[in-house]
A and B are shown apart, each in its own frame.
Chain A
Amino acid sequence: DIQLTQSPSTLSASVGDRVTITCRASQSISSWLAWYQQKPGKAPKLLIYKASTLETGVPSRFSGSGSGTEFTLTISSLQPDDFANYHCQQYNSYSPGYSFGQGTKLEIK
């Protein structure tokens, strides 16, 4: 099974900051990685798929990069609405099953 490790687990930042969250896979998943945003009590929302493709309607301050085993989600200038939990997910078509990282809580400093 492919394991995903996100870091940090918690990130404290201020409005306007640039922040980066990392997701590392236990084996290569090419670019088969998605990122989701989840607010308390709500369902996850797709932000990015195929490592770097922005979902329609997602603000351009969100970006994703990486391939193989190391990936990043970057928010260029934090807005108040961005304080939430973020999850990465792998969907490697050559490995059965799907897995998520443990999540990163982005909180206001």
Chain B
Amino acid sequence: QVQLVESGGGVVQPGRSLRLSCAASGFTFSNYGMHWVRQAPDKGLEWVADIWYDGNNKHYPDSVKGRFIISRDNSKNTLYLQMNSLRAEDTAVYYCARDRGTGYFDLWGRGTLVTVSS
């Protein structure tokens, strides 16, 4: 069925790196822009990164720019988020989400928890 499944979360020390993956199935992944959105414990949603359907354009908010890198492999139907120089404030559930085409998200994964702690 149509779904997104995140993986790769865990506990990591401040300053270290982690790579998240999002496996897509049930739809033509290469036709869609994709996003990462995070939610810190008991907080609201925060957009983290997006990537165009072909991988040629990427955008980030200032909070993660220069530390996080979004990428995709359309041959593997997989989205990635490389997170470097992690900070305590990066602790959150990270969701991948599909862009319907104009910037809203019509399909979400169940999320993967990243905890940054010493």
| A interface list, Cβ under 8 A from B | 1, 32, 34, 36, 42-46, 49-50, 55, 87, 89, 91-93, 96-103
Which residue of A1, A43, A46, A102 contacts B104 across the interface (Cβ within 8 Å)?
A46
Closest to B108 in A: A43
Q: How far is the CA of A59 from the CA of B95 in the complex (A)?
A: 25
Closest partner residue, chain B, to A92 (CB atom): B103
State whether the Cβ of B118 lies closer than 8 Å to any Cβ in chain A: no
Inter-chain CA distance A41–B103, complex, in Å, is 24
Contact partner of B105 among A32, A44, A97, A102, CB < 8 A? A44
Number of interface residues of B (CB under 8 A): 19
Among B44, B104, B109, B110, find the residue whose CB has the most chain A CB atoms closer than 10 A.
Answer: B104
B100 at the binding interface (Cβ < 8 Å): yes
Does B90 interact with chain A (Cβ within 8 Å)? no
Chain B residue numbers with a CB within 8 Å of A97 are 47, 59, 61
Number of residue pairs across A and B with beta carbons under 8 Å? 55
**Does the CB pair B59–A96 fall under 8 Å?**
yes
- In the assembled complex, which residues on chain B have CB atoms less than 8 Å from the CB atom of A89? 45, 104-105
10 closest pairs, A vs B, by CB? Answer: A91-B103, A43-B108, A34-B104, A100-B45, A98-B47, A103-B44, A102-B44, A49-B104, A46-B106, A91-B104
Least CB distance from A5 to B in Å reads 11
Shortest distance between the CB of A50 and any CB in chain B (Å)? 8
B102, A32: Cβ atoms closer than 8 Å: yes
Q: 13 other contacts beyond A34-B105, A93-B102, with CB at 8 A cut-off?
A: A32-B102, A32-B103, A34-B104, A43-B95, A43-B110, A46-B104, A87-B44, A89-B104, A91-B104, A93-B103, A96-B59, A97-B61, A100-B44
